[in-house]
Each structure stands twice: as structure tokens, then as C-alpha cells.
Amino acid sequence: MNASKPKKCYIETYGCQMNVADSEVVTSILNEEGYELTQDMTKADLILVNTCSIRENAEQRVWGRLDVFRQIKEKNPHTKVGVIGCMAERLREKVVEREKSVDLVLGPDTYRSLPELLEEVDSGHKGINTLLSKEETYGDIVPVRTHKNNLSAFISIMRGCNNMCAYCIVPFVRGRERSRDPETIESEVRHLSQKGYKEITLIGQNVDSYNRKKGGKTLRFADLLEQVAGIDHEMRIRFATSHPKDLSDDVLKTMADHPNICRHIHLPVQSGSTRILKAMNRGYTREWYLNRIDAIRHHLPEAEITTDIMTGFCSETEEDHKQTLSLIEYARYDFAYMFKYSERPGTKAARKMNDDVDEQTKKQRLNEIIKLQNQIGAANKKNSIGKTFTVLVEGTSKKSNNDYFGRNSQNQVVVFPKNRVKPGEYVNVKIENSTSATLLGKVIED
Ligand code: SAH
Ligand code: SF4
Ligand code: F3S
């Protein structure tokens, strides 16, 4: 512990929720070293960028940011610059070679070595560690929560991924799948509940394959959900991401039994064509996926489903694309993240398949998917007019000072005129109108 004047650290985070959670672990480690977070990078002693490699443009953005950090370092030569996370793992040599201003490079499993690496830098060397681990979960580190609303927090329950989808860089940059000790997950939930948090999201690349031995028994994801949901009935429990091949009826039944487990499932489909799903090595067919949609509708009729869709994967034909469109119509997603396939070096797709759908076709198919999904999302919101939802109030709406915004259990954003309620409280809102992405309503006074 350094008792002198706190040093300042500025952290920028890109990529998925896992990176957001990791930046909170890193902040906790840095706090112990006498660093405080700052929002002003020009005043920072240490600038860190937590990076993502999922698509090429994610990496392009980071190179752009490194140009900016270099300029800051030119003005403040004492400032240290570190690249951490998935791109650091993938491109450690290139980062060091191309960016002379980078002092530190840390992969996602090496954050505990940050204090030693900072010392290395102080003694005039670069601090580099990109070893992947089979065990690291940072289970014992209490993250410093950085979500602005002080109501919601991510809890990482597993790291890495064993699935080897043909297009995906994650298994290479995050290593083997490992599940976190349930005791540390539960104590984190209790801790957050005591601090007044109202919503936690259990996160991992494939939460349904959570698997951890406890007292001679194997704890699966449904068991973990059950235990976590019982800690504080006022606390909403969310989770992401579910993998269609592993989403079990047990999980759906556990959700149905616990009203505080949110009625929302993020179930990335990627493609509606069995042939493409097979090429992607996703481990399920179109029929299996549709069966999971039916199971969700059966066990949780009020749930909303969201997804990820990737268009233009190797060998995708117009017919495959049409199957994706028809699956979108069937699933009636409330929302989707939609991407063009981006080849990632070293993956099976890059090594063995042809990225043979031309850019123009990828763009066109993506636009068709976006157009259809936007229509469905908007129609879905319209269907909610007249319904009443319990909303967790998060804060003032970005568009109007007179309105609050919050979310319902389904994870839809609800906007309503301010009244006596305050952020952090639950309130019943009757929906009167909607836009493509938002529900608009009025508080029902009781
Ligand atoms: N673990 C999750 C997804 C993690 S990555 C799952 O299996 O569903 C988030 C999303 O990024 C993926 O669902 C996919 O739609 C997209 N993605 C992953 N690799 C990609 C690539 N090479 N090109 C384009 N999109 C990609
Ligand atoms: Fe990537 Fe597939 Fe693992 Fe998701 S399940 S992280 S898409 S390899
Ligand atoms: Fe990106 Fe790494 Fe997440 S590649 S999507 S930040 S696991």
C-alpha cells in the first residue's frame, strides 16, 4: 500500500461485459497500489485501454486511441500507457513494436501481475505478461464498481470459452473455460445487496455451461441461479450470455419459480441456416434453436428474447440468408446485435474456409436483417401498449429532464414523467406509447 499522494489512473474499456467487469477488477488491484480513477486522461499517471479483438474494426478503434495516448505521453512523459485485455493477448508483439509509447501489455488472465509490471516499468523496462491460465477467475478480488447508477453490477461467474465456434477469437484470447467458486459469487451478491444494489447480471461467454463442484455435488447454472435468486428478493437477477446448445429446461423452470430472475434471455442465433450453423461449429441446428424458443415461450410466456446475428459467413448463400430472415420472424426478437462476418486470424474459419461473400453482399444482407429486426422490435414494443410493468428507476432520461428512465424485467427501456419516486426504487408504469426501442408510460399510483 502506498501512503503518499494517490496516483491517477484513467481506464478506457472496449468490448463486451466481461471487459467491463475486468476493468473493475483492475481498478481494485490498482486501488491497492495507491491509484485513484480519473476521468481526465491528461492528468493521469497511468492510462490503460482494455481492448477487444472480436471484429477487425474493434481493433482498428484501439489503434486510433493509442495515437491519442501517444500524444498525451509526448506532453507528459511520466505518464505510463498500458494495453490490456483481448487485443493485448492476441497482438502483444505487434503492440510493442508498433507503439513505442506503450509501457505495459497484459492479457486477461494476468491482472494480478500488474503491481510487479508497474515496477518493471519504473525501472526502465516494458511490463509484459500475456500468459493464459486454466484457473484464474479473480474470485477473491472485490471489484470497484464503476457503473454510474450505483444500482447495477456485473458479476463474472466464469471465464474463457471451450466452444471453438469457427469464426471466433474468444477461445484464443480468453483461454479455457473455468467456473468461479460459488461462495465468492454469493458473497459478492450479498455485499452488493447490503450496499443497496438492485440488479446484478451474472456474466460469462456461455453461462449455461457453468459447472463447479461444491461439497461433493456438482453445481450447474440452474443451481447457481436458484441460490443467487434466494439471497435478496428485491434484487433483480439477470444473466448473459446463454448458448442455445446448452440452455436447459432446468434453467427456464428455475427462472419461472423466481420472479426476481428477469424475464429476458439473450440467445445468440448467428444464422438461421443449419448448414451455416454447422460450418460455424455452433453445435445446434435451426430446429434445435426453434425448439429452445418454443421452450422459453412455454415456461416464460412473458419473457423477451434478444439475439446476436452474423451475416455473410463463409459460403453463405441467398437461400441461407432467407432462412435467417424467416427465423427472425419466428423468434420475434425484441432486440438484436447484428454484424457482418469479420475474418479473425488463427480461427478455423480463417485457416480452412474462404471468406467468399463479397463486402457488398454482406452489407446488403446486413441491411435487410436490420430492417426486418427493427420492424419486429417496434411492433413488439407496440404490443406492450396497455400493459403495466414494474420498472426499476435508473435516472433522468437522456432526452428530457422531466422524465425518468428505467427497465422492466424484460430489459426494455421504459420512459415516464417524473413524480415522487427516486432512482433505485421500483414503480409500476402503464405503457401508453412506444418508439422502436423504448416504451413510454405513466406511473400508476397505488
Ligand atoms: N459467447 C457468445 C458471443 C460472444 S461474441 C455466444 O456464443 O453467443 C459476441 C458476438 O459477436 C457473437 O455472438 C457474434 O455474433 C459476434 N462475432 C463473434 N465473432 C465474430 C466475427 N469474427 N465477425 C463478426 N461478428 C462476430
Ligand atoms: Fe465465441 Fe462461440 Fe465461445 Fe461465443 S460460444 S465466445 S461465439 S467460441
Ligand atoms: Fe471482445 Fe474479448 Fe469480449 S474479444 S467481445 S472483449 S471476450
Query: What is the DSSP code (8-state) at residue 4?
Result: S
Residues 257 and 269 in one domain: no
Ligand 3 lined by 117 (C-beta under 6 Å): no
Mean pLDDT in residue range 343-354: 98
Residues 254 and 333 in one domain: no
CA of 268 to the centre of ligand 2 (A): 10
Residue 134 forms part of a structural domain: no
Relative to beta strand 199-203, strand 178-179 is unpaired
Residue 148 binned pLDDT confidence (cut-offs 50, 70, 90): confident
Pocket of ligand 2 (CB under 6 A): 161, 163-165, 168, 170-171, 205-206, 243
Among the three residues 383, 399, 417, which one is the final residue of a domain in this structure? 383
Query: What is the DSSP code (8-state) at residue 240?
Result: E
pLDDT of residue 368: 98
Residue 137 forms part of a structural domain: no
pLDDT of residue 3: 56
Q: Would you say residue 111 has pLDDT above 90?
A: yes
Q: Would you say residue 2 has pLDDT above 70?
A: no
Residue nearest to atom 4 of ligand 1 (CA): 205
Of 148-157, 365-374, 427-436, the poorest mean pLDDT is in 148-157
Mean pLDDT in residue range 391-411: 96
pLDDT of residue 122: 94
CB atoms under 10 Å from CB of 125, counted, come to: 11
Rounded Cα–Cα distance for residues 424 and 438 (Å): 20
Mean pLDDT in residue range 330-339: 98
Residues 271 and 173 in one domain: no
- 226 is in which domain, residue-wise? 147-262
Residue nearest to atom 2 of ligand 2 (CA): 165
Residue 2 forms part of a structural domain: no
Rounded Cα–Cα distance for residues 339 and 267 (Å): 15
Residues 115 and 167 in one domain: no
3-state DSSP call for residue 344?
A: coil
CA of 169 to the centre of ligand 2 (A): 8
| CA distances for 306 relative to 209, 339, 383, 412, angstroms | 19, 14, 16, 11
Among the three residues 262, 279, 313, which one is the final residue of a domain in this structure? 262
Residue 146 binned pLDDT confidence (cut-offs 50, 70, 90): confident
pLDDT of residue 198: 97
Ligand 3 lined by 19 (C-beta under 6 Å): yes
- Tens-place pLDDT, residues 415-440: 999 988 999 999 999 999 999 999 99
Q: Would you say residue 216 has pLDDT above 90?
A: no
Nearest ligand 3 atom to alpha carbon 17: 3
pLDDT of residue 215: 83
Q: Hey, which of 284, 308, 313, 341 would you mutate to test ligand 1's pocket, going by the most ligand atoms within 8 Å of its Cβ?
A: 308
Of 209-218, 286-295, 400-409, the poorest mean pLDDT is in 209-218
Q: Would you say residue 357 has pLDDT above 60?
A: yes
Residues 250 and 315 in one domain: no
Phi, psi for residue 227 in degrees, rounded to 5: -70, -45
3-state DSSP call for residue 246?
A: coil
Residues 363 and 438 in one domain: no
Mean pLDDT in residue range 11-15: 97
Q: Would you say residue 446 has pLDDT above 80?
A: no
How many domains does one find in the chain?
A: 4
Ligand 3 lined by 174 (C-beta under 6 Å): yes
State the CATH number of the domain containing residue 430. 2.40.50.140
Residue 196 forms part of a structural domain: yes
Relative to beta strand 158-159, strand 178-179 is antiparallel
Residues 379 and 392 in one domain: no
pTM of the model: 0.96
Mean pLDDT in residue range 192-210: 96
Q: Would you say residue 371 has pLDDT above 80?
A: yes
Mean pLDDT in residue range 85-104: 94
The pLDDT mean for the chain works out to 96
Among the three residues 231, 262, 293, which one is the final residue of a domain in this structure? 262
Q: Would you say residue 6 has pLDDT above 80?
A: yes
Q: Which residue would you say has higher pLDDT here, 298 or 2?
A: 298
Residues 394 and 371 in one domain: no
pLDDT of residue 253: 98
Residues with Cβ within 8 Å of residue 428, at least 6 apart in sequence: 388, 389, 390, 391, 443, 444, 446
Supply the DSSP string of 429-442, one letter for each residue.
EEEEEE-SSEEEEE
Residues 255 and 270 in one domain: no
Residue 392 forms part of a structural domain: yes
Residue 227 forms part of a structural domain: yes
* Ligand closest to the CA atom of residue 88: 3
- Tens-place pLDDT, residues 233-292: 999 999 999 999 999 999 999 999 999 999 999 999 999 999 999 999 999 999 999 999
* Ligand closest to the CA atom of residue 308: 1
CA of 365 to the centre of ligand 2 (A): 22
Q: Would you say residue 1 has pLDDT above 70?
A: no
